[in-house]
Amino acid sequence: MTSNTYNYVDDLLEGMDIPADQEARINARVAEMVEADHALKNLRKQLGISQNVVADAMGVSKSSVNQLEARNLRNAKLDTLVRYFEGCGYNLELTLTPID
């Protein structure tokens, strides 16, 4: 996904007259978005936990965990994320902060 995402963005930007600093900001934002899309998988791997362990704790298949990890976090249900993090040994806590 990562290389495809960058290739797609590069294709869109190719031939456009965009200042270097603006192109750098676009590329940095794409990198942040790609990293966010891999946040669950990266966390699980850093913890040394297999998808099977998380799947068992959640009561779902390994395939379901794989699909969750590949999904954009904005599209994941809160209950699913709570169960996922519990499967990794963590409680999910939400904090509300005012926008400016």
Between 88 and 17, the higher pLDDT residue: 88
pLDDT in tens, 66-100: 999 888 777 788 899 999 999 999 998 888 888 87
Match 């963005």 to its residue by tokens.
Answer: 9
CA angle 94, 49, 53 (to 5 degrees): 90
Residues 6+ apart with CB under 8 A from 83: 57, 58, 59
Report all structural domains of the chain as residue ranges with CATH numbers, in order of start.
2-87 (1.10.260)
Arithmetic mean of pLDDT, 8-15: 65
